[in-house]
Structure 1
């Protein structure tokens, strides 16, 4: 309980008003604390207990914890609370644990330090500071306790005997039994958030209670809803944030340069709702730069609207970034900004932070300058539309701007490409898939994303703008958030060398990793049978890019300094960089504050966590949508490629949809399989037959479970031959009683080498894991 005030009144039994005043100041106290404070002994202590009973019966006092008391309707300065409610705006409310009914709920205020981990969710238990505000009680998060591991997101399964909550997480085994009374009004298949109840049961399902109903497993949007709740992605905006957004107005030209005559255009995906970058290029007329180009990149000036210390800023930092699903977006900023004032809409004035970059004829950047201005987009194009125009098929929009805008953009890009090729960034290919939704929210198709030159043009111009931001802030000695990507570890390089040895490719393990070295390996294998597996293994060798207040460079892009500047609508890191530029260049009073500079390490850590949270949620939703798409094709045959080899089975990626599923090791044959991590293979201990990473195989879909995103395959292809250089098997106890060749004595015919085993064999232990 809270330590009572140190100032001690005269000894003696207090009157009712004095006792209530003491509790009001202390927040909460136990009887022994009260007696000690007032110096009570013997009979006075008994009288105090009677007074407390009377005040509690009248409703003037309320219980706080097992032994504590507080003035009715008050909360202690610090306490343990459960998240008990979420309102329509997504705001969460907590209630003090072990408190009587008079204890008020408190609005949970998000922590902005980045030190408390992922955002809390329904059912979480938290340590909070309580503060009485003008609009009621607020709870400020100190840290999350053990609520996270006591929550289960699952599906209701009803029967006459019991109601179960089956988890949607494939890794979870926590099936919960809930009382029938709690499940009244719920239907079989409803998605719920439940808490594991503490109890003494050691066997069978655990007991649980339902906290919140989320939707139904048959809903078209169930996949994204499950992912949002499973990963704690913040949704919606508070009323304060919405009001702040609604009151924002377009800045005037005061303190800004007028860039509206520059014919900037946006090039985005066809279904893009917001447009945060625009580009323009022209030949450099400076005689000192023959063959050179000037490239403009204009970015939405989000910092003009989202200022430090505001509700908009607090919630944007809490979210960290937007999260994208096939059927919806959970934006970092309210629609009034993300799809309104901060979106560079065609023909409308917009505040911008722009950079003017100069390149010489060899694609080397020779200078740049940042400008805070007012712009007007002259055209809105999709990638496909711009590419079609350059390929000779302009339409009514692109036709009139070919000579003035599109041809110069492409010519400038081809010039910049010379510098990119000299830099030699990592050229790993990724086979991204795109889910197209029908108007009614169902999956229409799953398509491979086509990489166009238009994509690469915008990418290179954004990369150069990001480099300019990092260079300027370093030159001005202004701290910033870097986007860093460390070189692969020595251990990963050794593992890569071990694998390449198995396919006959030399790799000097002692030679330092460089992007040119990786690209040379990719080029040498690009047309061969091992192209995809080499691409996959090199990708897995790389470290993960993160945000950091300390610079270690960007290995993948082969850049010494790099920062994210070009997407402040959807990434908080970019907004921080914008504020840094405003401060460094004296472009306004809404720049980076001293407090933010001090907090940069914790901000970096926080936005890394939110980025990974979003990536995990997006990946989970994609898995569930693909499983739903394939549910009607159970029993169908597919071609694919082995993309993962583990002790418990093979992961296969289908060529048609890019879906990943598992072939369990138990279904591969009548023998034990060992995992050879050096060659990325499962090897039969008796036969030596091998399943190797990168092999093209044929599989049959056995199970598709949309609620978990799980796909289970049956292998139809034959394993590869034994490695002639591998040592002979040492079978030990498992060889006893077996005939030559390692197949069982009884129960059926011995299968041919490389074939699938016959079914119905008795006494055979198939594919046991080790």
Structure 2
């Protein structure tokens, strides 16, 4: 990163993220109120700095350095904000807690007095505790605080595993009135301590039940007490596992009555005013377990190329801006998918009903027709609002089997040549992808299979077929066409953006790849194709999984923004999401913008500032969903491995640290830790430069990508953690989770 300007010097374009004082000085000296656009222009910031700048502005607004001044604009504050993070420093003469801002740039921070007691069931604020507080100015330099959220004390709720008091528990010998009902192990792996469930506060939960508890006041030392307020289900039932993530991350899963009523009142669309596509044999291709079908495709030869049509469920017809359905869809942001259930963005009357492109049923759609040349270039993209009738609901496996020469009756009933046209158009589109030079990561996905009783029957790799790639390329082409249409008409919309990796991440990646004998071009000239070239070099080797993971970690996360900064991974200057409005709110907004663009809905649509706010909100919900899905898969895998403690399995090393070796189990794709204490008795040295763990005499070494045989030593289902040992080391005594 370039050297920062000294405090107090005039501003200049630095090409690097400013520090807090530089940013405060710039905003203070600027004329009018300042937003991210002006800051980026002043300091020469690129797309890779967006996330860090947004976080810095949030922190400075939270600690009172900056004050909001309209939509996403700021000024230097002359008073504390309405809410901020504060730390309790003591009590006043009346015993009320006194706090001060956690971050304060000057001297003489104004005192904040908490004059009202905490909510019932919460312990009192103690010195050193940090809280998010709502502030009310009571006079010059004086504020009153009320707690909004505690950061260092008990959480508002605890999700975990309840274990009834065992006979050998030390607490079992306590007098009856002091004897607890049991203990609670938090599902959050960052939580170090257990909780105690007092007698009469277990909510009728039996042993080994996953529950939600709320903290109780604590009168003395020892474990924190809590009251069970909701039972999620027995730990042994795999169908309970997904609800742990839902509860921990606060994912909305109950629809408001008004939204349900609006979905219930939905009816079929009328053909009037729509392009009739019912004679076109559009087909949906999805996973075998899919229930909401929001995209259908068709292709036919056109000269040396193909004319392709992508039809998408007309969700915008049913979900109107500002309605209860719209408000709930924006709040959820996206559907969340678990092995046993889906938490949908829209009620089932829409997601699995009127908005689902079910076969042989009339459905409203938005469609785009594109002419694809033999070299993959796309021309004459035309959008419209139509009515369609899906000719078949196909699965990826079904389409692939037909392509490989074993069609089933469902495929044989389709018009002759339809599959050939779909695959032919796909091959054309891949030529354009190859010219652009995209980043094609091969990341293993795992599929959890459950029986009718919620028991895990298998955790198997999800095979990526050519039929998956056909649908993927059709969707990318439609998304690009949507972005170009809106950009060409200068209409604000939400783009799907993926900023290039930061120079710091690329340099770290370069050093690691050097240890594997792989080279990258200089940072300034690096493109997605350069990273993909590295992937091609290791494809099919033992290093492939590691290198794919390393390159993934170097990437910035994709997000939604009204600024078309491009998509690095796909090597596209402008890209939007258009093809999944049943499960993504961003796609619904793209549909609304397209309807304005083609004159079927009145404008104007949302402003740039409104889209920016929505983009940030649904980016957060998307990352929340990804976290929920990832953590749930880890808990499923740990549940499956609990019955296999002591089993020896194959694994490979993903990374090394001073306290252990992180591995991935080949059978399940599960991350697991081989702690340093499980290694042979020796002194080990972690060489960060070569990414190697060496024994004292240098006769043994562990490196990323290295294959290992490991023994499952412990698996904690509620936390999704797995500990390993080497096969020839002594077994540890079993522990009660």
- Note if 1:277 corresponds to 2:295: yes
Shift of 1:671: 3.4
Aligned to 1:145: 149
- Note if 1:466 corresponds to 2:479: yes
Distance 1:98 1:176, change over 3 A: closer
- Note if 1:538 corresponds to 2:551: yes
Aligned counterparts of 1:170 and 1:696: Cα–Cα separation in 2: 27
Aligned counterparts of 2:483 and 2:147: Cα–Cα separation in 1: 34
Aligned to 2:648: 637
Aligned counterparts of 1:504 and 1:644: Cα–Cα separation in 2: 17
Please give the secondary structure, in 1, of the residue aligned with 2:207: coil
Shift of 1:687: 3.7
Aligned to 1:749: none
Shift of 1:568: 0.3
Aligned counterparts of 1:697 and 1:344: Cα–Cα separation in 2: 47
Kindly indicate whether the alpha-carbon contact (under 8 Å) linking 1:487 and 1:513 is maintained by their aligned counterparts in 2: no
Kindly indicate whether the alpha-carbon contact (under 8 Å) linking 1:353 and 1:370 is maintained by their aligned counterparts in 2: yes
Aligned counterparts of 1:526 and 1:157: Cα–Cα separation in 2: 47
Q: Aligned match of 1:692 in 703, 709, 713?
A: 703
Aligned to 1:567: 580
Aligned counterparts of 2:374 and 2:238: Cα–Cα separation in 1: 52
Aligned counterparts of 1:759 and 1:224: Cα–Cα separation in 2: 31
CA displacement 1:595-631 (0-9 Å, x = unmatched): x654111111111111111111111111111111122
Kindly indicate whether the alpha-carbon contact (under 8 Å) linking 2:520 and 2:530 is maintained by their aligned counterparts in 1: no
Aligned to 2:501: 488
- Note if 1:158 corresponds to 2:164: yes
My pick for the range that moved more, 507-516 or 334-343, is 507-516
Kindly indicate whether the alpha-carbon contact (under 8 Å) linking 1:682 and 1:691 is maintained by their aligned counterparts in 2: yes
Aligned to 1:741: none
Shift of 1:540: 1.6
CA displacement 1:514-564 (0-9 Å, x = unmatched): 122112222222244433322221222221111112121111111111011
CA displacement 1:657-708 (0-9 Å, x = unmatched): 2222111112113334343333333333554742111101100111122122
- Note if 1:209 corresponds to 2:222: no
Aligned counterparts of 1:600 and 1:682: Cα–Cα separation in 2: 48
Aligned counterparts of 1:304 and 1:181: Cα–Cα separation in 2: 52
Aligned counterparts of 2:321 and 2:571: Cα–Cα separation in 1: 33
Q: Aligned match of 1:341 in 351, 354, 365?
A: 354
Shift of 1:653: 1.3
Aligned counterparts of 1:293 and 1:278: Cα–Cα separation in 2: 16
Aligned counterparts of 1:528 and 1:569: Cα–Cα separation in 2: 39
Q: So what's the TM-score if we normalise by structure 2?
A: 0.75
Shift of 1:127: 7.1
- Note if 1:615 corresponds to 2:626: yes
My pick for the range that moved more, 499-508 or 662-671, is 499-508
Aligned counterparts of 2:367 and 2:203: Cα–Cα separation in 1: 58
Kindly indicate whether the alpha-carbon contact (under 8 Å) linking 1:156 and 1:190 is maintained by their aligned counterparts in 2: yes
Distance 1:407 1:685, change over 3 A: same
Shift of 1:291: 0.4
Aligned to 2:51: none
- Note if 1:230 corresponds to 2:236: no
Please give the secondary structure, in 2, of the residue aligned with 1:615: helix
Aligned to 2:260: 242
After superposition, residues 380-399 of structure 1 pair within 5 angstroms as 380-399=393-412
My pick for the range that moved more, 494-503 or 694-703, is 494-503
Kindly indicate whether the alpha-carbon contact (under 8 Å) linking 1:643 and 1:694 is maintained by their aligned counterparts in 2: yes
Aligned counterparts of 1:542 and 1:393: Cα–Cα separation in 2: 40
Aligned counterparts of 1:580 and 1:443: Cα–Cα separation in 2: 44
My pick for the range that moved more, 532-541 or 420-429, is 532-541
Q: Aligned match of 1:704 in 715, 730, 733?
A: 715
Aligned counterparts of 1:395 and 1:446: Cα–Cα separation in 2: 27
Aligned to 1:676: 687
Aligned to 1:515: 528
Please give the secondary structure, in 1, of the residue aligned with 2:365: strand
CA displacement 1:479-529 (0-9 Å, x = unmatched): 111111111111111112211222233334445221221122222222444
Aligned counterparts of 1:461 and 1:367: Cα–Cα separation in 2: 15
Kindly indicate whether the alpha-carbon contact (under 8 Å) linking 1:493 and 1:509 is maintained by their aligned counterparts in 2: no
Aligned counterparts of 1:98 and 1:445: Cα–Cα separation in 2: 46
My pick for the range that moved more, 660-669 or 460-469, is 660-669
After superposition, residues 286-305 of structure 1 pair within 5 angstroms as 290-305=303-318
For structure 1, list consecutive stretches of 5 or more residues without a partner in the other structure: 1-65, 67-79, 81-95, 100-123, 129-141, 285-289, 718-755, 761-770
Distance 1:144 1:235, change over 3 A: farther
Kindly indicate whether the alpha-carbon contact (under 8 Å) linking 2:494 and 2:590 is maintained by their aligned counterparts in 1: yes
Please give the secondary structure, in 1, of the residue aligned with 2:576: coil
Kindly indicate whether the alpha-carbon contact (under 8 Å) linking 1:297 and 1:462 is maintained by their aligned counterparts in 2: yes
Aligned counterparts of 1:553 and 1:642: Cα–Cα separation in 2: 34
Kindly indicate whether the alpha-carbon contact (under 8 Å) linking 2:364 and 2:387 is maintained by their aligned counterparts in 1: yes
Shift of 1:271: 1.1
Shift of 1:292: 2.1
Distance 1:264 1:508, change over 3 A: closer
Distance 1:301 1:639, change over 3 A: same
After superposition, residues 171-210 of structure 1 pair within 5 angstroms as 171-183=190-202, 185-199=204-218, 201=220, 203-210=221-228
After superposition, residues 78-97 of structure 1 pair within 5 angstroms as 97=119
- Note if 1:552 corresponds to 2:565: yes
Distance 1:669 1:628, change over 3 A: same
Shift of 1:402: 5.4
Aligned counterparts of 1:143 and 1:261: Cα–Cα separation in 2: 62
- Note if 1:403 corresponds to 2:416: yes
Distance 1:501 1:547, change over 3 A: same
Aligned counterparts of 1:146 and 1:711: Cα–Cα separation in 2: 30
Aligned to 1:737: none
Distance 1:347 1:461, change over 3 A: same
For structure 2, list consecutive stretches of 5 or more residues without a partner in the other structure: 1-95, 97-113, 122-130, 136-145, 166-171, 173-178, 733-737
Distance 1:686 1:205, change over 3 A: farther
Aligned counterparts of 1:507 and 1:312: Cα–Cα separation in 2: 48
Aligned to 1:651: 662
Kindly indicate whether the alpha-carbon contact (under 8 Å) linking 2:687 and 2:694 is maintained by their aligned counterparts in 1: yes
My pick for the range that moved more, 538-547 or 503-512, is 503-512
Aligned counterparts of 1:507 and 1:586: Cα–Cα separation in 2: 48
**Aligned residue-pair number:** 585
Please give the secondary structure, in 2, of the residue aligned with 1:565: coil
Aligned counterparts of 2:373 and 2:622: Cα–Cα separation in 1: 36
Please give the secondary structure, in 2, of the residue aligned with 1:633: coil
My pick for the range that moved more, 239-248 or 192-201, is 192-201
CA displacement 1:258-281 (0-9 Å, x = unmatched): 111111111111111011000001
